[in-house]
Amino acid sequence: MITNLATGESFDTAAPGVEPLEVVGRLVQEDICILAAGEGGHQRLLGGVVCFPAHWSVLEKLGKILPDIHDPVPRWRSDAAGPARAFLSALRPEQPFIRWNWTLMPTAELHLSNFYEPPPAPHAAAPEDVSGIERLHLRLERQYFHRLPRSGCLVFTIRTYQRPIREAVEGRPTMAAALAGALRDLPYAHLEYKVGLQHRLPALLELLDAAAQGEGGREGEGGQEGSAGGVVAATATSM
């Protein structure tokens, strides 16, 4: 029996019909995926509990290896599939790995599943929609990889943080400068994948450049707020 002291919920993991992965998903904030070695040594998705997908779904990707899962990402198969296979294959139980990923979303919704409801086209708004930039949200994902010692499977968890872009960079010049630099350096295909809002890019860069010139603010504070600038700077070109 497992009891969640925060919610008061109890789970009898030995009871018939109880799915352990569902229980784990109810105990933590992170989304959870289970991976195992598949075709060509690439990791294959065996299952998961994902409440906050970013334009994908477990049912859509179930059973696929990572290169197929990441097909929508420009050049992932050609540039990242090999290094990802080598790195994840070498990951040991005593050496978990944490990385961050970022993107920009034209919505405040955290659940964006392709399977149940296709996401709205991010560049569907008219160019004259001057308020469109106010709908942009910076989405950060803390991604954690841990190999299970007995089965050898990989546990992959995702903790999602999201803020309106103006609020996210206000008082955080390091974050604003890192994000502006990343957007300027990204190839067109990556920029379209990350942002999908070409007609709003000038206004977005203007906002970020202005925030980068700001002083003081919250970058020196502790916790998630204080580390945000470093996160974006460290993952500026991450796919």
- Residue 195: its pLDDT value, please? 65
- Residue 200: its pLDDT value, please? 81
Q: Which residue has the tokens 């700001």?
A: 214
Q: Are strands 2-3 and 10-11 parallel, antiparallel or unpaired?
A: antiparallel
Task: Note the pLDDT tens digit of each residue in 194-223.
Answer: 766 667 888 899 999 999 998 544 554 434
Q: Answer whether 35's CB lies under 8 Å from 19's CB.
A: no
Compute CA distances 185 → 71, 179, 180, 214, whole Å. 22, 10, 9, 22
126: left (phi over 0), alpha (psi -120 to 50) or beta: beta
pTM of the model: 0.82
User: What mean pLDDT, rounded, does the chain reach?
Assistant: 84
- Residue 215: its pLDDT value, please? 54
Question: Token pair for residue 138?
Answer: 């910076």
For the cut 80, the answer to whether the pLDDT of residue 155 exceeds it is yes
Task: Note the pLDDT tens digit of each residue in 96-144.
Answer: 999 999 999 888 999 988 755 545 555 554 444 554 788 899 999 999 9
Task: Note the pLDDT tens digit of each residue in 42-83.
Answer: 999 999 999 999 989 899 999 999 999 999 898 999 999 999
For the cut 70, the answer to whether the pLDDT of residue 87 exceeds it is yes
- Residue 122: its pLDDT value, please? 52
- Residue 221: its pLDDT value, please? 44
Compute CA distances 55 → 93, 101, 119, 150, whole Å. 30, 14, 7, 32
- Residue 134: its pLDDT value, please? 85
For the cut 50, the answer to whether the pLDDT of residue 32 exceeds it is yes
